[in-house]
Structure 1
Amino acid sequence: MSTLDTFFVTKIYRAELNDAKHADLNAELEAASLSIAEDDEAGQRWCEKNGYPGYTSYASLDDLPWRVPAFGQLLKLLNTHVAAFAKELEFDLKGRKLVLDSLWINILPPGGVHTSHIHPHSVVSGTYYVTIPEGASALKFEDPRLGFMMAAPPRKPKAKPENRQFAYMAPKPGTVLLWESWLRHEVPVNEAESERISISFNYAWR
């Protein structure tokens, strides 16, 4: 007789805010993101200096939820989902909370990529998807054990999702994805014919 147990599970949280109730919010976020990208000269300079495709407010603006009401409304929704994710992960927060540390706009043009990375100094990271045109890339996650696999054979093309070395999450407008900040991820090349707009964020333990 044999048994099979599963340990050390990597969880990714998904919620959909794409019903009629949230349609106006998404439209406001799209308009605000495009307007901010056009006016944010500091952000534009940072993107050009660092070879960043498209636009991000990551290095230039740190007050979007207080600057723009739509981002403040989004923050309230994100707080609820991050709390639910923390509960699912069974974090012992010792009386403290996970609170927003940073939130920024990403506008990825056709042909643009966001290379593989993690989010240091944070506990939970995530992205809210504003505009996802047809052909836009999914978010790609990497098995955190990949660097230790050395002589492991490749996985079968139709392997179960939990046995694969990479996982792809294809979002829609209004999708929220959350993951633990140590999980390496990337955005493959945007093969759509228009911009892919998203809002990323980090939560810290305070």
Structure 2
Amino acid sequence: MAQIESLFVTRLYRAKLSEHGPAIDTDELEASCYSIAEDDEAGQEWCEANGYPGYTSYASLTDLGWRFPIFADVIKALDKHVAEFAKDLEFNLDGRKLVLEDLWINILPEGGTHSSHLHPHSVISGTTYVAMPDGASALKLEDPRSARMMAAPARLKDARRELQTFIYMKPEVGDVLLWESWLRHEVPLNMSEYDRLSVSFNYKWE
């Protein structure tokens, strides 16, 4: 009798940021994001020069935890979530730790997108969500096997979740999503008239 099993599982972690570390006031976090965006002229210039819709601090600021105490609290919580995810992934860290490499703000206005990408040189990447108004885009995750599928036919529309080519995760405010940094992902068109706010991050092994 034939036996079929699933191999090479891709893991995705989802939890409330507040499950670990200090309680996070999302209204205060949102206000802090806008305050930083308003003052960050270098970030504004980078976004304009690179055609980035809205605002990101990715290329301009590396010290959010120092600038606003609430970001220091976010980092404390993320450290614990990432440690929990690393256990689930059964990493052999050889006595070393996964540590925060960078943390940045994303403000995506109506009509904004963030094209498909991955995060080289990191181990775990993720996002915590600050504002997700009605119509705000989900996170689109791509099957990492796609590049190797060659002439494979399309999947059935009602294919089992683990066989689908793309998965759309609709996070809520206060959620944190974690994935291994090689997983390709994107943010489709923001259909809301309001901003979609999130804070993204990378962890490295050292």
Question: Which of structure 1's runs of 4+ aligned residues deviate more than 6 A?
Answer: none
Counterpart for residue 124 of structure 1: 124
Counterpart for residue 183 of structure 1: 183
Report how far residue 112 of structure 1 moved. 0.1
Taking the aligned partners of 2:87 and 2:22, their CA distance within structure 1 comes to 24
Counterpart for residue 74 of structure 1: 74
CA RMSD of aligned residues (A): 1.5
Taking the aligned partners of 1:94 and 1:144, their CA distance within structure 2 comes to 27
Deviations 1:150-175 (A, max 9, x none): 11111111111100011111011001
Report how far residue 2 of structure 1 moved. 2.2
The question of whether the paired residues in 1 share the 8 Å contact of 2:24 and 2:70 is answered with no
3-state SS of paired residue (1:5)? coil
Report how far residue 45 of structure 1 moved. 0.3
Counterpart for residue 93 of structure 1: 93
Sort the Cα spacing of 1:55 and 1:167 in 2 relative to 1 into closer, same or farther, 3 A: same
Report how far residue 17 of structure 1 moved. 3.5
3-state SS of paired residue (1:43)? helix
The question of whether the paired residues in 1 share the 8 Å contact of 2:22 and 2:73 is answered with no
Counterpart for residue 196 of structure 1: 196
Taking the aligned partners of 2:97 and 2:43, their CA distance within structure 1 comes to 30
Gaps of 5+ in 1: none
Between the two proteins, what is the percent identity of the paired residues?
Answer: 63
With normalisation by structure 1, the TM-score equals 0.96
Counterpart for residue 106 of structure 2: 106
Report how far residue 24 of structure 1 moved. 5.3
Counterpart for residue 60 of structure 1: 60
Taking the aligned partners of 1:109 and 1:18, their CA distance within structure 2 comes to 26
Report how far residue 5 of structure 1 moved. 1.4
The question of whether the paired residues in 2 share the 8 Å contact of 1:43 and 1:57 is answered with yes
The question of whether the paired residues in 2 share the 8 Å contact of 1:18 and 1:173 is answered with no
The question of whether the paired residues in 1 share the 8 Å contact of 2:54 and 2:107 is answered with yes
Taking the aligned partners of 1:50 and 1:130, their CA distance within structure 2 comes to 24
With normalisation by structure 2, the TM-score equals 0.96
Counterpart for residue 141 of structure 2: 141
Report how far residue 115 of structure 1 moved. 0.3
The letter for the 1-side match of 2:156 is K
Taking the aligned partners of 2:17 and 2:98, their CA distance within structure 1 comes to 21
The letter for the 2-side match of 1:87 is K
**Larger displacement relative to structure 2 (102-111 or 152-161):** 152-161
The letter for the 2-side match of 1:148 is R
Deviations 1:95-133 (A, max 9, x none): 100000000000000000000000011000000000000
1:49 aligns with 2:49: yes
